[in-house]
Amino acid sequence: MRRIFIFGLGYTASRIASALAVEGWEIVSTGRDGTLNFDDAANVRLALADSDCVLSSIPPEGTGCDPVLDAYGDAVAGKQVVYLSSTGVYGDTAGAWVDESAPIGVGRRTARAGADTRWLELGARVLRLPGIYGPDRSALERVRTGHAHRIDLPEQVFSRIHVDDIVSATALALNAPAGAYNLADDLPTSQNAVIEEACRLLGLAPPPLQSLDEAGLSPMARAFYAENRRVANAKARRVLGWRPRYPTYREGLRSLVAS
Confidence label for 226 from pLDDT (cuts 50, 70 and 90) = confident
In angstroms, the CA 99 to CA 59 distance is 21
- Tell me the residue type at 79: K
Task: Quote the CA–CA distance of 167 and 22 in Å, as a whole number.
Answer: 12
Percent of the chain as helix, strand, coil, to the nearest 5: 40, 20, 40
Handedness of CA 224, 227, 228, 230 (dihedral sign): negative
Average pLDDT value for residue range 8-23: 96
Q: What is the mean pLDDT of residues 253-258?
A: 97
Residues of the chain with pLDDT > 90: what percent?
A: 85
Calculate the CA 244 to chain-centre distance: 14
The residue among 171, 236, 241 whose CA lies nearest residue 23 is 171
| CA distances to 7, 175, 191, 233, 244 from 247, in Å | 28, 23, 16, 11, 5
Contact 114, 105 (CB under 8 A): yes
Cα–Cα distance measured from residue 77 to residue 124, given in angstroms and rounded to the nearest whole number: 9
Which amino acid is present at 145? Answer: T
pLDDT digits 0-9 by tens, 185-194? 999 999 999 9
Judge contact between 68 and 45, C-beta under 8 A.
no
CATH of domain 3-258: 3.40.50.720
Domain definitions of the chain by residue range: 3-258
pLDDT for position 92: 92
* Calpha distance 89→180 (Å, rounded): 12
Mean pLDDT of the 102-112 span:
84
Say what the pLDDT of residue 154 is.
Answer: 86
What is the four-CA torsion angle of 193, 167, 55, 105, rounded to 10 degrees? -30
Assess whether pLDDT exceeds 80 at residue 108. Answer: no
The phi and psi torsions of 145 (rounded to 5 degrees) equal: -95, 0
The predicted pLDDT at position 64 comes to: 63
Please determine, for residue 219, whether its predicted confidence score (pLDDT) is greater than 90: no
pLDDT in tens, 141-161: 999 999 999 999 888 999 999
CB neighbours (10 Å) of residue 79?
17
